Structures are given as structure tokens and as C-alpha cells.
Amino acid sequence: MGDHWRVSALISQIKNSEQKLFKDLLENWTPKKYKISNTPYKNKFTNDPHCAIISLQDIHFGKEGNDTIDKDFEDTVKNLVQRANAIHYIETMYFVVGGDLINMDTFTGTTTGGTPVDNCMSATEAYMQAFDAMHWAINYIKAFCNNLVIVYIPGNHDRLSSFHLAHALSKSIVSDKITWDVKYEERKVHVWHNNFNAFEHGDKRSKNNPLIFASEYPKAWGDTTNRTLFKGHIHTDRKVEYMTSNETAGFIEKTLPSLGKTDYYHYSNKYVGNRRSGKLELQHPTMGNICELTYQAL
């Protein structure tokens, strides 16, 4: 019958080394790309340039009770910028980052000055949540304006961590239509046509704010007649007007509301009842403030 052969073999896959798997991962990995729109959505009614200012200070990512603050923030931004863009062409948008964006500034869960606060997450988790929210907001807002100016303002809760966040954002988003004002300064001024727009957090209170800003920014003050200070800190919607005798050149202090929810400290001290909301102001090149939009969170 001839010779017969019987062959027996065990077949198994040759496993790749961890080094090879890691090498393949790096070679085939494509990082997520964020596209910046340099062509804003223009409305159908006017081509006249306007300026918009959206300053949502005192969000307090990581604060007790703020479990859904990221969604509240996103809903507020979408509502305000869409409504503003629907009625005016926004040539320049100022977006404030900082001002107690994060509730704590240390690993031990305190403010920069060491004051204990009520938190619902760790400092690192709050930082990452805040970073993701701001990264999304900047990319979203840019689609509704021609030029976007990011203004960093430090707060008393997060002076160090918010600066790190603003600096990191400026390095992760690149566009020739975005201006980054992330230098550490507690008071800042940006001039748009006849509008003097000042920014601070508001924890350093003073009755001499008009004199202080006029002294620190004399040229900008002298070149404008519509002058406004945007600040936060006390989580309350408030406005103080300083007017000259002819009511043509003055100074307005706007204390803006907060989207943050009430924690135990505010409840215990009876700091309750404020409406959780955000505001956006629209300005005309010569007439100044012509519209103020408000979104109230549920």
C-alpha cells in the first residue's frame, strides 16, 4: 500500500511584544482635530459691524451642587450667541475666561487663600471639566463672530489654576482670528471703536473705580465716551452708573449674575434667591450698548 504519514501540528498566533503594539498605536493614532471657523454665520438683516461681550464669571466648576454645571454652561452659551447672531453681524466678540471658573485652587480643596470650600469633586477633576467646557465654548463661539478675543481674568478662588487653564487653551487652539489676552493682570481694558470695555473679577472692591481706570488707561479713557466695567464675584445682577452732567460721557459698573448653584456655605449664610443666569451685551460702534440678552438656567 506504500508509505503513510501522519502529521500533527499545534497552530497558535504569535503574540506581538508590548513595544510593537505601542509602536503600532502611535503610528496609526490620529489626534482629534478642532476646526476653527474663520467665516462666521452671518444673519440676513444687516452687515453693520457690532461687538458682543459674554462674561460668564463665577461658574465654580467642582462646587457642591454643580453636578450639571457643564450642561447649564453649554446651554447658556448656545442660547446667547445664537440670539445675538440672529439680529446683528458680530464683528468682534469678547469672551471672558476665569473669574472663579474653578471652585478650588489646591489639592486640599481650598481657595487660593486657603479658605475651605464645599466641593463635589477633586481639584484635578474640576480642572479637566472646566478645560473641556472652555475648549468647546471657544470653538463654538468663533463660528458666530469674525474676530474672537479671549480675556483672562483671575478670581479669588482659582488664581493659579485658572491661569494655567487659560495658558493651556491659548496653546491648544490656533487661529489668526483669535486674540489671546491671557497675561496675568487683575484689571484689563479693551477698546472697540468708541467703547471702553473694562474687566475685573470684583473681589477687590473700590468706590473709586472710575478714577482708577481713568488713571491706569488715560488714552483709552480719553478716546472713548461709552465706558463699561464688567465684573462678578457676588453672584448678583447689579448696575451702578456714574454720569457726567450732560449724560454723554460716564462710567457704568455691571456686576454680572452667576450660573453656579447654591452650596452649603451660601445656604447657611442666607445668600440665596439669586437667579442663575448669563448675559451677553451687544454694542454699536458709536452708540455703545444697544442690547442686553439674558438666559436663565432652570
**For position 23, what pLDDT does the model report?**
61
Count CB atoms within 10 A of the CB of residue 77. Answer: 23
Please determine, for residue 240, whether its predicted confidence score (pLDDT) is greater than 90: no
In which band, very low, low, confident or very high, does the pLDDT at 76 lie, cut at 50, 70 and 90? very high
| pLDDT value at residue 239 | 80
Cite the beta strand spans of 138-286 per DSSP E.
147-153, 178-181, 188-192, 195-199, 226-231, 238-243, 250-255, 277-284
**pLDDT of res. 215:** 96
**Predicted local distance difference test score (pLDDT) of residue 206:** 84
Q: Write out the three cell numbers for 20.
A: 510593537
Tell me the one-letter amino acid at 80: L
Mean pLDDT throughout 141-147?
Answer: 95
Longest dimension (CA), the chain: 124
Average pLDDT of the chain to the nearest whole number: 87
Averaged over 230-249, what is the pLDDT? 76
Q: How many percent of the chain have pLDDT more than 70?
A: 81
pLDDT at 218 over 70: yes
The answer on pLDDT for 13 being more than 60 is no
State pTM to two decimals. 0.83
Please say if the pLDDT value at position 1 is more than 60: no
Please report, for the chain, the start and end positions of each structural domain, with discontinuous segments joined by +. 45-296
Write down the CATH number for the domain with range 45-296: 3.60.21.10
Question: What is the rounded CA–CA span in Å between residue 94 and residue 77?
Answer: 13
In the predicted structure, residue 41 carries a pLDDT above the cut 70: no
129-138, 210-219, 272-281: which range is least confident on average?
272-281
Q: Tens digits of per-residue pLDDT, 43-63?
A: 656 789 999 999 999 999 999
pLDDT at 247 over 60: no
